[in-house]
Amino acid sequence: MLLGETVRISLTSIRSNLFRALLTMLGIVIGVGAVITMVALGTGAQRQIDKQMAALGGDILSIQSSSWFSRGVARNQRTLTTDDAAALSRGMKHVSAVVPEINSRYQIKYGNQNLNITTIGTTPNYPDVHGFNFAYGNMFSAADEAARKRVVVLGAEIPEMFDADPAALIGRTIQIRSITFEIIGVLEPKGGFGWRNPDDDVWIPLSTAQFRVTGDEFVETISAKIAPTSSTEMAMLEIERVLRREHGILPGNDNDFAIMDRRQFAESRQEATQVFTYLLAGIAGVSLVVGGIGIMNIMLVTVTERTREIGVRKALGATRGNILLQFLVESTILCLLGGLIGLLLGATASALLARYAGWQTAMSTGSALMAFGFSATVGIVFGIWPARRAAGLDPIEALRHE
């Protein structure tokens, strides 16, 4: 018998009891909808991390002071100095650029407004190394740095915080810790990574920060760009060697600094997101299985209800295979229809989440196909038992059934 005929028979029987068919599908609808939504959420989160990783640039190592133990007490003290940064920028084979940073939050005053803003004292190569572009104005020069000039570059979101037009701010002054600075540049937005958003920072020359604002020689972070011809491992070893020498750390003693590969950090975050996505999709998948059991239930009831019909069909020449196929096709169609509705539901849910909850979501053809394939499989797997029961009925008994 043609498969097309079987499909037609199944559609007729589903249509004749549409409401029940819809209720039967409900489990699959919810299951597929949930899987699609969860995968869309997970994929969205991963895309976001991917974007952040691309923005980070993969070739920067971040060196920070680390806590170390002294007489059994953990010390958390700044150990990196501007001298370290200078040492790292001399004669290095595996590091092509070094950017020290002095970070502090200060009261910044513009007109009559007062804000608490992270102020970073750094070198002129900061925008190049970290991949910032200027919307207006320029970065301070090496001469500005050498002269300890009181000039400042603003992050992209700062003008808005002061209710000011960014273009008009160039040449105006702000007060950082009551010291007047001239605004010489505004950066383009770059977007945050994790806990920090660099768009609401301001930058001043390192020497200005050191001698006019903080008054000490310590830096919070030194960023080191790995030379294009070198590797992360080589650069890390070289930095470690130089800093140990600078800090006079004896062999066998621990480093008082830490070198971090931010890309590695992002990668581990991505892995965690992926695991989380699979977990959520797995939980949603359980409801698919429950939906499949629902289908099996209804199909078993259907077989009992239609025993007479099965007897008649057998008397008229239907083989076991014909009957088996008929019921299998029916449960598969139910599941596929449920899968289709669930797909639409999931797509709608992800779109709504993206729009109203502001979560990143990304629908993929892969997850749609997977959910569809999975619901077809559920239909076949959970349809087999009822279909076998139908096919195995004795025609004489079936015809006698009331």
230 neighbors 94 (Cβ within 8 angstroms): yes
Q: How many other C-beta atoms lie within 10 A of the C-beta of residue 14?
A: 18
Nearer to another protein (CB atom), residue 36 or residue 398: 398
Question: Is residue 62 classed exposed, middle or buried when 0-12, 13-18 and 19+ CB atoms within 10 A define those classes?
Answer: middle
Q: Which residues contact 306 (CB under 8 A, 6 or more apart)?
A: 390
Which of 103, 118, 274, 322 binds another protein (CB under 8 A)? It is 322
Site string for another protein, 1-30 (x = CB under 8 A): xx--x------xx--x--------------
Which of 38, 129, 243, 318 binds another protein (CB under 8 A)? It is 318
The stretch near another protein (CB under 8 A) out of 99-107, 267-275, 283-291, 320-328 is 320-328
Q: Does 320 bind another protein (CB under 8 A)?
A: yes
Per 3-state DSSP, the chain is made up of helix, strand and coil in percentages (nearest 5) of 55, 20, 25
In the chain, the amino acid numbered 64 is: Q
Number of residues that this document lists for the chain? 402
What dihedral angle (degrees, nearest 10) is formed by the CA atoms of 211, 214, 217, 220?
Answer: -140
Least separation in angstroms between residue 395's CB and another protein is: 5
Site string for another protein, 61-100 (x = CB under 8 A): ----------------------------------------
Size of the site for another protein (CB under 8 A): 23
What does the alpha-carbon distance between residue 265 and residue 256 come to, in Å, rounded to a whole number?
A: 20
288 neighbors 31 (Cβ within 8 angstroms): yes
Which of 130, 262, 313, 389 binds another protein (CB under 8 A)? It is 313
Which of 71, 317, 356, 358 binds another protein (CB under 8 A)? It is 317
Give how far Cα 17 sits from Cα of 12, 20, 302, 384, Å: 9, 6, 11, 21
Nearer to another protein (CB atom), residue 163 or residue 402: 402
Site string for another protein, 272-311 (x = CB under 8 A): ------------------------------------xx-x
Which of 111, 131, 191, 321 binds another protein (CB under 8 A)? It is 321
Chain center to CA of 73: 38
Binding positions for another protein, 383-402, rule CB under 8 A: 395-396, 399
Residues forming contacts to another protein in the complex (CB under 8 A) are 1-2, 5, 12-13, 16, 308-309, 311-322, 395-396, 399
